[in-house]
Structure 1
Amino acid sequence: MMDTIKQSVEQLFDNDWWSNTGISLLKILLIIVIGRLLVWIAHKSINKVVLEQLNVRHALQQRRITTIGKLLNNIVSYSTYFIVALLVLSELGISLGPLLAGAGIVGIAIGFGAQSLVKDVITGFFIVLEDQFAVGDTISTGKFKGRVEVIGLRTTRIVNEQGEMHIIPNNLITEITNFSLLPAHITIDMPIAYQGNLREIMHTVRQCAQSIKHEKLLSSIEVLGLQQFDKDEIVMRVTAQSEAAYKDEVTRYMNEQFKLTLEQHGLQMNEEIKEAKG
């Protein structure tokens, strides 16, 4: 014990020890700075390529390009910092051979003992890479349907209309229906009491359709015309397209505007306006 303390005290006054230690610290600092610089340059290059691609790609492809750009940035960062860590350990005098061999054995053990985790990560990677869905999309997978809150490499979180959050392991996501990639189609049937003037009714409905504006509408409202009729009522059908996530909101707004307009023109509704089922 005393010999160890004596040796440590002697090292404090050993110029060669201080010189070697200073050089090692400078090397470690230089390795870290160079690593950070390489990461910065790589990120700048990747972001520049991503921005260039965003300017020339279709809107549906922009989200995928952005996601891939972030993924590449993460891969570059993790790879570079891993190499930096190995170089620093080597500079500290730690032998990397046994360390890498031990890491390999641990990796094999984890591979056998955590196959489900590996499947989750691989599936999550391909979800991001293939842009199957993104945060904010409304999707259905298995018995779950809702808005995507978080996409991780291991789990995906979905919030349904009741506010319940479902945390789903990625390897269980085998079939996906994405309701947000394409515009939602809205079809509304309006049963109107028939009073013997079809032209007036059609004119009123068309006027209302032209006047309805909503920021989430992606197309003008089209009046398809007479869908059904009998001696007491006629059914007028209108269609439109909206952003998928706002389909219900836009449908309610259209219902309200049509009902108010028809009432202003003295046209009575036989029942509440309802979204057509077919």
Structure 2
Amino acid sequence: MSLSTTVTLPFLTLPGADAVASPCASDDGISCDLAWRWTQNQTAAELATVLIGRPLAILVLVLGGLLVRWLAGRLIDRMVDRIAAGPLNERRQVRARTMGSLIKSIVTTVIVFVVLLMIISEVGYPIGPIIASAGVVGVAIGFGAQSLVKDYLSGMFMIFEDQYGVGDSVDLGTVVGAVEAVGLRVTRLRDVHGTVWYVRNGEILRVGNQSQNWARTVLDVGVAWNSDLDAVRASLRAVAHELWEDSAYAGVVLEEPEVWGVEALTGETVTMRVTLKTSPGEQSRVARAMRERIKARFDLDGIEMPAPARAATPAAGTRPAGPPPTS
């Protein structure tokens, strides 16, 4: 003996509704059941499924995917803000935001893929063969687009290894500039002339980053051959020390500057080298300030800088050296 319990809703049940078996399948949705109960017409039930049920289900899936994406984005932003607000240096804060952007891209891709599969399943197509064929197509695309796969893999490793981030001043071999955006496929830089460069991550073989931890300003100062090198060294050391103690450069010049001494001897010039350890990205600013102060100090101490070589000009009324003109 079997027991069955049937729950009926008066406002959904019409007289004679159970006289004919419902044509609605279990996956046709409530719109088919309602249309059948109200009209007892199979065509109306099928049209309700096609015109109302499935579009409504697709709309719900799309809205659900957008909601999940929004919630995931809020969660990722909250985690990134919590990390950035912690006792970390600015470099790690930039890295946290870059990682947050990468995670958002991955989450968005996964959500879009899942929602598309659910929509295809809702329309009535089996997703098993689609997934299998997608695997085959993916392998074919992988062989045909190896450079694209290389770009993505290189971009992921560069982001995870923190080789550079947004705002860093880098030398990528083919271009030098400030990083404006780091993506999985390309990196966008802007050089000193304002030109925007897009560099494929897979083509980056080396990275010179001038914005990590600390930087160094290296100045080569030329003086006349007959200059007193002890006086030159004292002047350079005094200028560098004044900059080191200047409150406007507190936290910019990190250590006591050093005068390394004679770097080169060429022609009529003796080249002296001065180095200053600076904050990342501040080396150019420090170099410009040092040049201005060195010029003023040399003028004050009477230290001569070598004059640029000039081409000899013939005296008035004389003919330049060379073969005589032909008549």
- TM-score, normalized by the shorter chain, greater than 0.5: yes
1:119 has 2:153 as partner: no
The aligned counterpart of 2:323 is none
Distance apart, 1:17 and its partner CA: 3.2
**More deviation, 173-182/40-49:** 173-182
Q: Secondary structure at the match of 2:217?
A: strand
Q: Secondary structure at the match of 1:222?
A: coil
**Does the aligned pair in 1 maintain the 2:259–2:275 contact within 8 Å?**
no
The aligned counterpart of 2:107 is 76
Query: Greater Rg, structure 1 or structure 2?
Result: 2
Q: Secondary structure at the match of 1:79?
A: helix
Cα distance in 2, alignment partners of residues 149 and 48 from structure 1: 23
Cα distance in 1, alignment partners of residues 272 and 150 from structure 2: 51
Q: Secondary structure at the match of 2:291?
A: helix
Q: Secondary structure at the match of 2:281?
A: helix
Letter aligned with residue 186 of structure 2: T
Letter aligned with residue 153 of structure 1: L
Higher relative contact order (CA 8 A, sep 6+): 1
Letter aligned with residue 78 of structure 1: T
1:88 has 2:122 as partner: no
1:50 has 2:80 as partner: yes
1:136 has 2:167 as partner: yes
**Does the aligned pair in 1 maintain the 2:186–2:201 contact within 8 Å?**
yes
Letter aligned with residue 104 of structure 1: G
**Does the aligned pair in 2 maintain the 1:212–1:257 contact within 8 Å?**
no
Residue ranges of structure 2 left out of the alignment (5+ in a row):
1-41, 263-269, 307-327
TM-score, structure 1 length as denominator?
0.73
The aligned counterpart of 2:132 is 101
Provide, for residues 85-123 of structure 1, a one-character-per-residue CA deviation record: whole Å limited to 9, x for no partner. Answer: 211222122222232222222111111222222112111
Residue ranges of structure 1 left out of the alignment (5+ in a row):
1-12, 229-233, 273-278
The aligned counterpart of 2:305 is 271
| Count of residue pairs brought into register by the alignment | 254
The aligned counterpart of 1:186 is 217
**More deviation, 164-173/178-187:** 164-173
The aligned counterpart of 1:251 is 287
**Does the aligned pair in 2 maintain the 1:156–1:170 contact within 8 Å?**
yes
Letter aligned with residue 304 of structure 2: N
The aligned counterpart of 2:318 is none
Within 5 Å, which residues of 2 pair with 1:172-251?
Answer: 172-188=203-219, 205=239, 208-209=242-243, 212=246, 218-219=252-253, 222=256, 224=258, 227=261, 239-251=275-287
- Which is helix-richer, 1 or 2? 1
Provide, for residues 122-169 of structure 1, a one-character-per-residue CA deviation record: whole Å limited to 9, x for no partner. Answer: 111211222211233232344544433443323334555566665443
Cα distance in 1, alignment partners of residues 199 and 93 from structure 2: 26
Runs of 4+ in 1 over 6 A off after TM superposition: 234-237
- Shift of the 268–142 alpha-carbon distance from structure 1 to 2, 3 Å rule, reads same
**Does the aligned pair in 2 maintain the 1:135–1:151 contact within 8 Å?**
yes
- Shift of the 71–164 alpha-carbon distance from structure 1 to 2, 3 Å rule, reads closer
**Does the aligned pair in 2 maintain the 1:43–1:73 contact within 8 Å?**
yes
Q: Secondary structure at the match of 2:124?
A: coil
- Shift of the 123–220 alpha-carbon distance from structure 1 to 2, 3 Å rule, reads closer
Cα distance in 2, alignment partners of residues 42 and 15 from structure 1: 40
